[in-house]
Amino acid sequence: MKILLVDDEPALTEPLSRLLTREGYTIDVATDGRVGYTLASGGNYDLLILDWMLPQLTGLQICQHLRDRGDLTPVLFLTAKDTLDDRVIGLDAGADDYLVKPFELRELLARVRALLRRVQTVDPTPTQSKLQVDDLELDPDNQLAYVRGRSIELSEKETQLLAYLMQHSGQVMTHSQIQAHLWGEHTAPSSNVLAALVRLLRRKIEVEGSPELIQTVYGKGYRIGVRL
């Protein structure tokens, strides 16, 4: 499978590209964002590994531009930014996973394998019926939610999370169940990534002054459809 690595630190790109090559992947490397975006736009890659801070064009901008043009190639961010708000920003840009520097190479390999497994198992012609819980409606195929007549664009990951909760309306879905559904059973995301995704989704679909749509069940997980 073909991977694009975009990072301006030779101390990282050289050993990482050697490691990924030994694992059987075909690796292209770019050291600035503009070249990285050009390669990503036309390279038909199975996975993009992007540093957040890059010269010319940031990894965040690369991801946003690709998502805006409908490119759903999985993106793994490598970054020193480790706050919850940073994770929210990365997920909002369309990232699929997030790894904070410094990291263990074996953890990166595990995340690469998990993201590539998703590529291999995706149904190329998915069709899902619209889902509805109270005044919230979701159109999974078009990644759109509707609340009181207002349409809301969602990212792929937000759509997957919201659909999963709506399909189990009224049930408490545990953190591990949600993580396995979104990222696979064998590789959990970085700490707080799920919380960041939920926070981002709430900002989009919840109306100020109205009861919560996505409820936190402390110590367990999340639930939708039972208004408090």
Choice between 179 and 125, residue whose per-residue pLDDT is larger: 179
**pLDDT, tens digit, for every residue of 131-188?**
888 888 899 888 889 987 788 988 888 898 999 998 888 888 988 888 888 877 656 5
pLDDT in tens, 61-105: 998 888 887 788 889 988 877 677 777 777 777 888 888 887 888
Same domain, 115 and 20: yes
Assign 3-class secondary structure to the chain.
Answer: CEEEEECCCHHHHHHHHHHHHHCCCEEEEECCHHHHHHHHHHCCCCEEEEECCCCCCCHHHHHHHHHHCCCCCCEEEEECCCCHHHHHHHHHCCCCEEEECCCCHHHHHHHHHHHHHHHHHCCCCCCCCCEEECCEEEEHHHCEEEECCEEEECCHHHHHHHHHHHHCCCCCEEHHHHHHHHHCCCCCCCCCHHHHHHHHHHHHHCCCCCCCCEEEECCCEEEECCCC
On whether residue 183 sits in a domain, the answer given is yes
Per-residue pLDDT reduced to its tens digit, 200-211: 898 888 877 677
Instruction: Give the residue numbers spanning the domain of 37.
Output: 2-121
Residue 33 maps to which CATH number? 3.40.50.2300
Whole-model pTM? 0.60
Task: Please check whether residues 173 and 114 belong to one and the same domain.
Answer: no
